[in-house]
Every structure is written in structure tokens, then in C-alpha cells.
């Protein structure tokens, strides 16, 4: 897709997303279809590197969307029947009211303010260490393991025990104008021994 400016991606494909919303009667923004949220979050770079797009104020694209980067992607593709998707990921954070739906009819999803959909609420977990294999960062920045945490998106049903596979987003805390912001840094498939599942967790909003 040839664009004048890369940060115009959400506008460029909004027509397609609107048709998908009407077909599935579901939210579809930033390259994510609501009912397939977990699957669609598990994208990774398809190549040596991706480059974060410089975004103008007021047109920010969330870090959990591939639209925030320049470069090819592909999806980690676990078989849906073999994965337990986590129910504690929440998006959108507020459901449209009956009045909103009644006023806009079949186009009710397309009339939602996109700015209200940039955050995903989810618990984050400490990482005990990063595995040598299975971690795919979105850019070529060096691993910063002590500052990385993870959001568990899904857990394999087979095999069980210590060999189960956890499908996670790698996230990191940033300060933006002295405000704490959590952003995606990559994606990973790892065994539970790398995650502090017995430790404390907190719920954050991933932006």
C-alpha cells in the first residue's frame, strides 16, 4: 500500500475496516478484529528489522498494532483449538451504549472515536529471564531484560506442565511527559519457567 505518509495507515484502510465491522458486527480498528483480538496481537516482524513510524500528536497509533511500524509482518499461528486464550485482556475498554447503537444503526462501530480504542487493559508479569530462542523484538534495539515484562495472551493446552508454551507480548514501561506508559516491544513463545507466575502482578493499560 503506497501512502504519502506512513502514519496515515488507519485512514487508508478505514473503508475496509468499516466493511469488516458491518460483516462481523464487531469492532475492527488498527488492524485488529475484536473477536480475534488474541490471534491478531501475535504478529511479528517478517525480516531483519522494522522501523517505528514517527507519529504526529493526536494521530498516535498504539504500539500493539503493526500499523505503528514500517516493515513486513507475519503472524504466530497456534492452532486455536490447542490454545487457551486469556480472558483478562480487555478491549475495547468501554462498550457502546444502546443509545449510540440505536442512533447509528448498522454503522454503529464505524462511528466510534478511534482515540478511545488505543489502550488494551491486561495484567503484566515479571520475566525471570529471556529465553535464547522464541523472543522476537519489533525493532533492532538491544535486549533490555531487566526492564521487560510480559502480557500472557494464550497458553497451549498440549503439552502440559513445564513444557507448555506461553504466547506473550513483551512490554516495557516508558515515561512520556512524566506519565507512565506501557508499550509493546515484541512477541514471544516461551515455557513457563521464564515467567514469574508465582510473583505479584499488576494490571496496566498497554498503549
Give the pLDDT confidence of 137-175 residue by residue, as tens digits: 998 777 777 789 999 999 998 777 778 999 999 999 998
- pTM reported for the whole predicted model: 0.84
The DSSP letter of residue 127 is B
Using alpha carbons, select from 31, 36, 35 the residue that is nearest to residue 14: 31
C-alpha span between 134 and 145 (Å, rounded): 14
At 108, list the grid cell: 454503529
- Range in 2-16, 31-45, 50-64, 182-196 with the lowest mean pLDDT: 2-16
Q: Beta strand 120-126 with 135-137: parallel, antiparallel or unpaired?
A: unpaired
Q: Beta strand 83-85 with 120-126: parallel, antiparallel or unpaired?
A: unpaired
What are φ and ψ of residue 28, in 5° steps?
A: -150, 105
User: pLDDT band for position 17 (50/70/90)?
Assistant: low
Q: Are 202 and 124 in contact (CB under 8 A)?
A: yes
Q: Beta strand 135-137 with 179-190: parallel, antiparallel or unpaired?
A: antiparallel
What are φ and ψ of residue 80, in 5° steps?
A: -55, -40
User: pLDDT band for position 189 (50/70/90)?
Assistant: very high
Amino acid at each position: 500500500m503506497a501512502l504519502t505518509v506512513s502514519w496515515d495507515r488507519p485512514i487508508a484502510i478505514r473503508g475496509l475496516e468499516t466493511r469488516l465491522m458491518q460483516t462481523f458486527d464487531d469492532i475492527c480498528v488498527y488492524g485488529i478484529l475484536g473477536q480475534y483480538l488474541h490471534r491478531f496481537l501475535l504478529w511479528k516482524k517478517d525480516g531483519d528489522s522494522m522501523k517505528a513510524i514517527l507519529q504526529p500528536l493526536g494521530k498516535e497509533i498504539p504500539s500493539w498494532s503493526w500499523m505503528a511500524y514500517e516493515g513486513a509482518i507475519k503472524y504466530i499461528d497456534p492452532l486455536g483449538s490447542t490454545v487457551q486464550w486469556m480472558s483478562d485482556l480487555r478491549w475495547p475498554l468501554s462498550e457502546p451504549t444502546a443509545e449510540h447503537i440505536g442512533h447509528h444503526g448498522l454503522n454503529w462501530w464505524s462511528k466510534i472515536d478511534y482515540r478511545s480504542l488505543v489502550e488494551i487493559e491486561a495484567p503484566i508479569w515479571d520475566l525471570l529471564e529471556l529465553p535464547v530462542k522464541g523472543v522476537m523484538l519489533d525493532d533492532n534495539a538491544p535486549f533490555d531484560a531487566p526492564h521487560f515484562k510480559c502480557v500472557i495472551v494464550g497458553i497451549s493446552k498440549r503439552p502440559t506442565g513445564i513444557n507448555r508454551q506461553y504466547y506473550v507480548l513483551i512490554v516495557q514501561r516508558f515515561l512520556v511527559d512524566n506519565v507512565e506508559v506501557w508499550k509493546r516491544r515484541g512477541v514471544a513463545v516461551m515455557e513457563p519457567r521464564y515467567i514469574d507466575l508465582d510473583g505479584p502482578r499488576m494490571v496496566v493499560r498497554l498503549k
